[in-house]
Amino acid sequence: MTVVTAERITTAAQALVIAAELADEFARGAAERDHARRLPHEELDQLSASGLLAITVPAAFGGADLPPSVVAEVFRILAAGDPNIAQVPHSHFVYLNLLRLAGSPAQQREYFGRVLAGARIANAQSERGGASVAEIATTVRPADGRFVVEGAKYYCTGSLFADVLAVLTRLDDPQGVSGLAPGEYVAFVAALEPGVRIVDDWDALGQRTTGSGTVEFERVQVGREQLVARAAAVQAPTGYGAFAQLLHAAIDAGIARGALDAAVEFVRTRSRPWFEAEVARAVDDPLVVQRFGELAVSVGAAEAALVVAGAAVDEAVRPAGAGRGSASAADGAQSAGNDAAQASIAVATAKILADRAANEVSAAIFEVGGTRSAAAAHRLDHYWRNARTHTLHDPVRWKYQHIGRAVLQDRPPPLHGVI
């Protein structure tokens, strides 16, 4: 578990400088960690100590309150160095956002305070066996004045490094004993709580060191103060889903940039030119030059779209009424809805371009690098494996659907997104 003293970051510029310094350091060991599947415990302690994991804590609770666009850029920078480390805190920020939107003042004080001290939150959200990813079988039910959580979760990214697990549950209280409204609740559970079992069984071909194992909950006791109703975040135009998706797009864009940098370095230092080019160096082969131009455009487009999406999400998550003039409540709600819809479309666009760039460039390393690049000792395959694995999160074919419906039918995308 985390034992760190976190620095306090106060500005966006400070956050980006620290992210770049850490990314450079993490990049040096990323390929070997991936090869040996050495989990980055020390590196994540560095990340916690840097203060970056607290940059969205609201100013009222002592945090920097930095906007989504800055968080996305931090993720992109870190992912260019090691996308495994960058993915680990994804859910950490998503559930801090849930607390901001739906937590009580006491809950906000408690968990924001822990994060400011260096604590890490991980998800326990996805399940197997249901008809779709949206079905939740894990329950929270009242028992003896408290509540009991029971169920099993999979793909729990960051759980092996977490202090607190954010567990998505369904209230099981048909008699209304608890007084809580029916629906989904996130239970904030200590990772070391009795009845919690975290299993290191993640065996994907990529993103191998994200700590995305199975978590089982057997009669885990929680108090009412640990439960946050999810409805306020996902059933209103809060930008909750757009923010979560923005960070996924940032990871993909970072993978693309890291792969492009690796390809440049390899061709400059190791590749030989194809004999028909009649040049002495691979960097002077006109077909290689052409391909690098194409790859650079792909990466640049993804990064530019991420900036646009970040600005749109910033707009969508503004507090109600902030910068919206003296409009009526109805007009304010309509404005918030429009902002949230525009943010989701901008993020969908960024996700498509980042997905494309990450997979294209990580595969093209071998195309431009030549036969030598396929040698296992170079470890260049981890870029493609990471890209192929992470981009499976939320299929881009549905992003095209959301964009097309908005353009053609004026239909807004789903409020909640998929995270």
* Predicted TM-score of the model (pTM): 0.95
Looking at residue 130, its pLDDT comes to: 80
Which helix (H) or strand (E) is 112 found in, with range? helix 105-116
**Tokens read off for 215:** 């978590």
Q: Which amino acid is at 153?
A: K
List beta partners, residue 213: 156
Q: What is the mean pLDDT of each run of 10 residues along the chain (419 residues)?
A: 72 98 98 97 97 97 97 98 98 98 98 97 92 90 97 97 98 97 97 98 96 97 98 93 97 98 98 96 97 98 98 89 54 78 96 98 97 96 98 93 96 72
Sequence-distant (≥ 6) Cβ neighbours of residue 80 within 8 angstroms: 23, 27, 254, 255, 257, 258, 261
Amino acid letter, residue 188: F
Paired tokens of 386: 């990471």
Q: What is residue 174's DSSP assignment?
A: T
pLDDT for 3 equals 53
Query: CA-CA distance, 114 to 61, in Å (whole number)?
Result: 11
